[in-house]
Structure 1
Amino acid sequence: MSALTLGLLAALMWGFHDVCVRFISQKTPLMASLLTVLVSGTLFHLIVMGAQKSELALPSHALGLSALSGVFFLIASLGLYAAFQRGPVRLVAPIIASFPVLSVGWAALNGSHISFWQLSAVAAIVVGVSVVAALSDESDGPTMPKGLTIIFATIASIGFAGTFALGQMASAQAGELPVTLVTRLVAIALLLIGMLALKLPLWPGKGALAILALMGVADGIALLSINTAGHLPDAQYASVAASTFGLLTIVLAWLFLGEKMRALQWVGCVIAFCGIGYLAI
């Protein structure tokens, strides 16, 4: 399986996850929801590790990178949940989806050759996602002030770029399963410490558990896919393809939630997937 394919799988899983975030975050405590999703994803990950009889040991350098990836993963998750809770999607998704620019830029700084046409393909993906997101969720309801929403979305974008870069670097030195496990455990530990310090509720409510567990499994598959790509050529393009989660969130909402898709949004889809297609050549 190529890095690009793994990135698309991650995008599909995160698309499903974010469709759920848009609604769950309005009804349940935000941090309790995030904690439940992270714990569910970790339990799923442990099942996968047990089935594959994966070793837990990591070289010290890979362990450090994995732990730092966990810090960035928590930052990204907090920013994403807060941004999607505030909305609107047309503002949030394009900002979060800009992280491939940082991922590919980081790869270039580390010696990877990035051609003009490859950079153009990255730009096409970001533009396509932005077009779809910008024309979505055109409700007339009240919205929160945009300044803080933009800050949260930007934090999420930087967090995801850091998570993927560090996770792939660690996975290139060791197995992706123990790397991802450390990433998740660090994120959970830091979130739990923060919630206890702030005396935030840990329980999201019985009614939300099933959907939060599914979100955790989807998130687990997505992060594992991205880190697995660290062993493959052009690993940075897994992050590029994963950026289409914003686009897929809206398409999934159209399919399953009855939200409208305008003609220009379909044009944005075509632009984004043409960019992905070029990177796959």
Structure 2
Amino acid sequence: MSALTLGLIAAVMWGFHDVCVRFVSQKTPLMASLLTVLVIGTVFHLGVMGVQQSALFPKASVLGISTLSGVFFLAASLGLYGAFQRGPVKLVSPIIASYPILSIAWAAWNGVSISALQLGAVVLIILGVSLVAALSDDSDGDVPPMGKTIAYSILASVGFAGTFALGQMASAQAGELPVTLVTRLVAIALLLIGILTLKLPVWPGRAALPVLSLMGVADGIALLMINSAGHLPDAQYAAVASSMFGLLTIVFAWIFLKERLSTVQWLGCLIAFAGIGYLAL
């Protein structure tokens, strides 16, 4: 399976995850929801490790990188939740969707050859995702000041790029299963410390558990797919393809929630998939 395919699987999982957020975000404490999703994703991941009879933790030489990946993963999650909670989507989404540029820059820094056409395909994907997401924002009310929203969005973008780069680097040396476990455990520990320090709710409520469980499994699959690409050629394209999750969230809302997609949004989908198609050649 190619890195691009693994990234698309991750995008589908995170797109499904974000559609589910709509069912819980209005009635469930945000940080409690995120904690539950991370914990359930980790339980799922431990199940996969049991089936694969994987070593529990990676070798010491990559433990630090795996830990740092967890810090970036939590930063990405908090930035994503914080940015979309504030909005508007037309400001937030293009900034977050830009993280593939950071992934490509990291790959180039490490000696991977990136052609002008490949870079152009990445830009097409970002433009397509941003176009679809921006046109989905029909809010016309007051929004919070943009400065903090932009900061959250940048935090999410850098967080995703860092998570994927470090996770793939460690996975290539020690296997994706133990590396991803450390990443998830670090994110959970830091989030729990923050929740307890700020005296925020820990329990999301029984009614939200079924949806949060599905979100946790989807999140568990997605992160595992990205780190699994660390062994493959052009591993950076898993991160690029995963950025399609914002577009797929809106497409899933069209399918399952009967939300409208305009002609221009469909054009944005075609643009993004054209970029994916070129990278798959």
Asked if Structure 1 and Structure 2 have the same fold, meaning a TM-score greater than 0.5 normalized by the shorter chain, the answer is yes
Question: Does structure 1 retain, via aligned residues, the 8 Å contact 2:17–2:219?
Answer: yes
Amino acid at match of 1:225: M
Amino acid at match of 1:191: L
Matched, 1:246 2:246: yes
Question: Does structure 2 retain, via aligned residues, the 8 Å contact 1:94–1:246?
Answer: no
**2:158 corresponds to:** 158
Amino acid at match of 1:162: G
Give, in whole Å, the separation in 1 of the partners of 2:252 and 2:22: 12
Amino acid at match of 1:13: M
TM-score by length of 1: 0.97
Give, in whole Å, the separation in 1 of the partners of 2:144 and 2:13: 27
Provide, for residues 4-63 of structure 1, a one-character-per-residue CA deviation record: whole Å limited to 9, x for no partner. 000000000001111222442222111101000000100000011111111124222211
Relative to 1, partners in 2 of residues 1:96 and 1:23: Cα closer, same or farther, differing over 3 Å?
farther
Question: Does structure 2 retain, via aligned residues, the 8 Å contact 1:44–1:220?
Answer: yes
Relative to 1, partners in 2 of residues 1:22 and 1:150: Cα closer, same or farther, differing over 3 Å?
farther
Question: Does structure 2 retain, via aligned residues, the 8 Å contact 1:21–1:85?
Answer: no
Give, in whole Å, the separation in 2 of the partners of 1:174 and 1:212: 30
**1:4 corresponds to:** 4
Shift of 1:142: 4.3
Give, in whole Å, the separation in 2 of the partners of 1:162 and 1:221: 18
Taking the TM superposition and a 5 Å limit, the aligned residue runs for 1:64-213 are 64-213=64-213
Shift of 1:125: 0.4
**1:51 corresponds to:** 51
List gaps (5 residues or longer) in structure 1.
none
Secondary structure of the 2:58 match is coil
Give, in whole Å, the separation in 2 of the partners of 1:50 and 1:191: 25
Question: Does structure 2 retain, via aligned residues, the 8 Å contact 1:167–1:180?
Answer: yes
Give, in whole Å, the separation in 2 of the partners of 1:91 and 1:207: 32
Give, in whole Å, the separation in 1 of the partners of 2:216 and 2:253: 19
Q: CA RMSD in A?
A: 1.1
Give, in whole Å, the separation in 2 of the partners of 1:89 and 1:248: 15
Question: Does structure 1 retain, via aligned residues, the 8 Å contact 2:37–2:216?
Answer: yes
Give, in whole Å, the separation in 2 of the partners of 1:20 and 1:151: 25
Matched, 1:20 2:29: no
**1:237 corresponds to:** 237
Question: Does structure 2 retain, via aligned residues, the 8 Å contact 1:91–1:133?
Answer: no
List gaps (5 residues or longer) in structure 2.
none
Give, in whole Å, the separation in 2 of the partners of 1:210 and 1:12: 19
Question: Does structure 2 retain, via aligned residues, the 8 Å contact 1:254–1:261?
Answer: yes
Amino acid at match of 2:223: L
Question: Does structure 1 retain, via aligned residues, the 8 Å contact 2:57–2:179?
Answer: no
Shift of 1:280: 0.7
Give, in whole Å, the separation in 1 of the partners of 2:43 and 2:141: 38
Q: How many residue pairs are counted as aligned between the two chains?
A: 281
Shift of 1:257: 1.2
Question: Does structure 2 retain, via aligned residues, the 8 Å contact 1:86–1:149?
Answer: yes
Give, in whole Å, the separation in 2 of the partners of 1:274 and 1:124: 8
**2:271 corresponds to:** 271
Matched, 1:61 2:49: no
**1:34 corresponds to:** 34
Amino acid at match of 2:74: L
Decide which moves more: 188-197 or 15-24: 15-24
Decide which moves more: 141-150 or 238-247: 141-150
Shift of 1:254: 1.0
Secondary structure of the 1:265 match is helix
Question: Does structure 1 retain, via aligned residues, the 8 Å contact 2:195–2:202?
Answer: yes
The percentage of aligned residue pairs carrying the same residue is: 74
Give, in whole Å, the separation in 2 of the partners of 1:88 and 1:250: 15
Relative to 1, partners in 2 of residues 1:137 and 1:149: Cα closer, same or farther, differing over 3 Å?
same
Question: Does structure 2 retain, via aligned residues, the 8 Å contact 1:97–1:129?
Answer: yes
Provide, for residues 87-139 of structure 1, a one-character-per-residue CA deviation record: whole Å limited to 9, x for no partner. 23332222111100000000000000000000000000001111101111313
